[in-house]
Amino acid sequence: MTLMLSTSGLTKQYGSKVAVDHINLHVEQGSFYGLIGPNGSGKTSTFGMLTGLLKPTSGEGMIASFPLKQMEKIKKKIGFLPQHAIPFAALTAREHLLFFSQLKHVSHTEEQCPSLIQQLGMSSYADTAVKKLSHGQSKMVGIAQAFLGSPELVILDEPMAGLDPATISMLRSFLQRQQQQKITILYSSHELAEVEKLCTHVGILKQGTLLKEGSLDALKAEANSLTLRVEKMVIPLIKSIERLPHVTAVSFMAPQLKIKYTGMEKITPHVIALLAKAGVQVYDIKEKSLEDLFLESV
């Protein structure tokens, strides 16, 4: 496992308030890592320390093989979208990207800027002054800026916030394509359904403490659950389900049948087969989601 980013005991205090409390992050190269947590959990402060906007109170970190103390070298390897990014109002979207291309010394500006404009659906307003753009359009300008220069790591703080469903769908496809090109993406979001669709790995923050971290599948496998709405249930059938590999508990309170299990393998097909053989009608199936895991953690 090659790490693009790691921290050891990374801490940020504002006076007596501990915003980030000795967190140990591990972001694998080429992964899509979602950092989630309630408001005030420390996500933005963490991103601030990782990008040089905030100085850590204590702790260490590495990004692209450079320690956080060598931030000037790190900045050449990363792209960043702050939570409240405000593009230059007087510039057009295109001018904004060209300006930041020059700041980043992007060698293939003439090819990359038009490509990002097209991929992020900005063609219709690329030559409009940023001050005339909507919130979502301005957000696209900031996201395009973060990907200028083909960075090895892109950090996005709440990129989905305030976007309409069509724009979210387009942005999701764009981010998936970037990750398929081996760009490592670290982002925060309150849209847990989107995190579940996009992320390979997840970290859960609460009050500055990293509660859980790992691959999305592994975290969900720690305590998988399956809920089915069925027409009836008999004791012998419950016993048969209990004997399935990795099943740890089965309960039935009409009309809900709840099954808890461990491991990465999904048991849904095996349960459905048993119910079908017994002639039990299944009306609804729900597997554990990231939202369930998040609510259990925080």
Model pTM score: 0.83
Class of 222-287 in CATH: alpha beta
User: What CA–CA distance (Å, rounded) separates 262 from 35?
Assistant: 24
Q: Which residues of the chain have pLDDT under 70?
A: 108-109, 223, 264
φ, ψ of residue 103 to 5 degrees: the values are -65, -35
Q: Where in the chain is the domain with CATH 3.40.50.300?
A: 3-219
User: What CA–CA distance (Å, rounded) separates 190 from 14?
Assistant: 24
What is the third-level CATH fold of 3-219? Rossmann fold (3.40.50)
pLDDT digits (tens, 9 = 90+) for 261-288: 877 677 888 999 999 999 998 889 887 7
Q: Residue 106: what pLDDT?
A: 81
Q: Where in the chain is the domain with CATH 3.30.70.100?
A: 222-287
Q: Residue 84: what pLDDT?
A: 85
User: What CA–CA distance (Å, rounded) separates 16 from 235?
Assistant: 57
Q: Residue 114: what pLDDT?
A: 92
Q: Residue 109: what pLDDT?
A: 66
Q: How far is CA 87 from CA 91, 161, 162, 203, in A?
A: 8, 16, 16, 29
Q: Residue 223: what pLDDT?
A: 64
